[in-house]
Amino acid sequence: MDNNTSKTFSNIASGVRLDVFLNEQLTDFSRSRLKQLVESGSIFVNGKAATKAGQTLKQGDEITITMPPDQASTLVPINIPLDIVYEDKYIAVINKPQGLTVHPSPTSSEPTLINALLFHLKSLSSVGGVMRPGIVHRLDKNTSGLMVVAKTDTAHNSLSEQLANREIKRQYIALVKGNPKFDTKTVDTYITRDKKDRTKFKATSLPKDAKHAITHITVLDRFDAGSRNHPSHYALLQANLQTGRTHQIRVHLSYLNLHIVGDKEYGVKLSKTREAFYSAYNIKGQLLHSAFIEFAHPITNKLLSFTAPLPDYFQDFLTHISHPKN
């Protein structure tokens, strides 16, 4: 089904959910895309706009889908250097640098990863809309590492389904300030927006207006980079995502009182001395790196795995705290 078209269905079985019916009829659409269509008022049940994707249908109901018109894209290709780890006709795997925002936002006019993708790749999927072509999942601006990008709509829908079914494996490396009292730990909470700061999120035990979030954490190494009188503990962690919520790892580590080095949003306020110390090692954001990703190729179903080494500034800081000069 193309944009700028309308289609009506009347072969409705009683008791079926609207989203289940739509998923069966529109096989080229991801579940998230179908939900977007409902939320945008593009799905009608008996002439009235549907309000819930999970509403129950009854025999005799008539479903009409009116695709919204295409929007004109204002995005332009920009020659921003990209580390393309893998590419074929359907997907690309990118090692995103720290400091590069993934997609445009109303509050920023800075170049984004999408501008770079438009320059370097011949095609990008349209499932995410004109402002987020090809973007299946995202990384925070100051988080570096691996992302998979969809070049066709079919690939995008397959990858989105794998994400929804928790079939894509993602491992992150983080350096935190502190000495964890565990070697391995699973953080299982809900995550909701922080009412005091709507740009941030927080962990909560209450499911209301929150999303379930699970992170599996392993301590890889511990560092005692200070002196007896001025101890300074760090820990290198591996975080495996079971769910993928916005800022999930940063929120969960902050919840454990383990703040990622360089994280200005979820970290603690730094003294001028420590701020200068981090600056000397070119730390401009959180030391959080998407180091590993594994998924089934959306067309061939072949299992693909990719790794990305730590950025130089991250490795340099690790070397310093492993062998402190003072």
| Mean pLDDT taken over the chain | 88
**Span between the terminal Cα atoms of the chain, in Å:** 66
pLDDT digits (tens, 9 = 90+) for 226-248: 665 556 799 999 999 999 999 99
pLDDT digits (tens, 9 = 90+) for 49-65: 888 888 898 888 888 88
Taking residues 283-305, report their average pLDDT.
Answer: 97
Beta carbons within 8 Å of 56's beta carbon, 6+ residues apart:
15, 16, 17, 18
* Contact of 67 with 5, CB cutoff 8 Å: yes
pLDDT of residue 29: 67
Q: What is the pLDDT of residue 66?
A: 80
Position 14 scores a pLDDT of 81
Catalytic residue among 2, 140, 188, 263: 140
Residues, the chain: 326
pTM of the model: 0.80
Q: Is the pLDDT of residue 290 over 80?
A: yes
Which pLDDT belongs to residue 268? Answer: 84
Virtual CA dihedral for 242, 244, 245, 251, nearest 10 degrees?
A: 60
Decide: residue 254, CB within 10 A, 0-12 exposed, 13-18 middle, 19+ buried: buried
140 in catalytic set:
yes
Tens of pLDDT, residue by residue over 250-280, are 999 999 999 999 999 998 888 888 888 888 8
Give the pLDDT mean for 295-322.
96
Residue 12 — very low, low, confident or very high, per pLDDT cuts 50/70/90? confident
Q: 3-state class of 288 per DSSP? A: strand
